[in-house]
Amino acid sequence: MADQIARFFSFQDANVRYVLFGSVILSAAAAVLGSFAVLRKRSLLGDALAHAALPGVCVAFMLTGTKSILPLLIGATVSGVLGVLMIQAVTASGKIKSDAAIGIVLSVFFGAGIVLLTHIQKQPLGNQSGLDKFLFGQAAAMLPKDLLVMGMISFFLLVVILLLFKEFRLLTFDPDFFATLGFPVAFLDLLLMALIVLAVMAGLQAVGVILMAAMLITPAVAAKFWTNRLSAMIAVAGIIGAVAGFFGTFLSSLAPRIPTGPVMVLSATFFLILSALLAPQKGVVAKWRLHMRNKRRMAQEHFLRGWLEISKQNSGHDRVEVGELATHLRLSRQAIEKAGRRLMRQGLVSIQPPCFALTEVGRQKATRLIKTHRLWEYYLIHRAQIDPDHVHRDADEVEHILPPHVISELEKIVETEGVGSGKFASAHPT
């Protein structure tokens, strides 16, 4: 194992270099284009185009009698473009939606490709054609000329994306506004699909027809977890794609019988799972931590508001028992004591259970919370025209997330309508 690792990182094996550089370049370019496909909700398009390429590969081999990469890629490209045109033609009829059109083209072209592939295998040179490797890819068979073709295609794709980045961004997010500016939306949309076709064709030998769509979509979806900016998403997707290509090549080199393409897809999927779990804002862990933080904050604010409401009911008594708070807020004693201890650490509560007392700072915060609650109740009843029987619950759910500028607007509404805002800070619960 150590010898295999050392051999890989020495890059002395020419075949390893070809496979590694080809996989990294291809994966990065495919991921960049996949970002636009994902944002335009055309994730299945790459899958359809990959499957549509198979009959083109077979026809090119039947016409030329050679499995040289260039004629096969030309045949695959022609077949893929034909698939794009068929999807557009079927969708333009208005009777079939785009997802159904993609499914139809995918099934028909792939079925035709399998029929042609079976026919070729029965021919005298069929066993030597190696076209079945285009189903799952065979990066290990990559030659220098194959790497050159893939590199040129990938470089061309990245240059076009860089030059037309602003146009593609508008096409992705606001095609209607883009059309009003006088730009040829239909042409640019077709150009973007043509670039996806080229990316798919470039990856057929390394990843194959079946798995190429994964290299388009998976890194882009993973990148979407990390950012909300298109430029950053494209950069992250390219990096994830390149790293997936690197690890796919590295891991498959340790087990020579395992093809590189599927391992590349599994590597990209690993980064997708990692992103879904650990992304700082959209990840599962981050959302769970935010949920728990909001839950703790709501419990503490309920504690403060409930304490002040009970105190006012008891003629301003400065101590409230845990049981009273638990009954008033419909929470367990353990939850009340836990929230109280947290508030003590913040300097808002001053006495240990079974009784609690608020500090002056705690009273001020509780007063603000009640005021916010009443302001929102007033708005829901008099402006939103919500039944008063349902207002208290709605106000209780929303008041914890109202930003300061919204509270200021609510105060202005109350003052404009001639209602004294002081009553909102001291009102009893509904």
Q: Which of 99-103, 324-328, 353-357 has the highest mean pLDDT?
A: 324-328
Q: Which position has the token pair 């897809």?
A: 265
Global pTM reads 0.77
Q: Give the Cα separation of 421 and 3 in Å (integer).
A: 78
Question: Which has the higher per-residue pLDDT, 183 or 134?
Answer: 183
Q: What digits encode the pLDDT tens for the residues 374-385?
A: 887 777 777 777
Fold entry, domain 12-217: ABC transporter involved in vitamin B12 uptake, BtuC (1.10.3470)
How high does pLDDT run on average in the chain?
82
Q: Looking at residues 5-24, what average pLDDT do you find?
A: 78
- The CATH number for 368-430, chosen from 1.20.1300, 1.10.760, 1.10.60, 1.10.3470, is 1.10.60
Alpha helices (H) in 65-143, listed in sequence order: 69-92, 98-121, 126-129, 133-136
Question: Which has the higher per-residue pLDDT, 430 or 65?
Answer: 65
Three-state secondary structure readout of 111-126: HHHHHHHHHHHCCCCH
Q: What digits encode the pLDDT tens for the residues 363-407?
A: 898 888 888 878 877 777 777 777 776 666 555 666 666 777 777
Domain map (residue ranges) of the chain: 12-217, 283-358, 368-430
Q: Which position has the token pair 């076209």?
A: 131
Fold entry, domain 283-358: Arc Repressor Mutant, subunit A (1.10.10)
**Joined tokens for residue 103:** 């499914």
- Are the beta carbons of 83 and 190 closer than 8 angstroms? no
Asked if the model's pLDDT at residue 103 lies above 90, the reply is: no
pLDDT score of 133: 65
Closest CA to 106 of 125, 121, 92, 87: 87
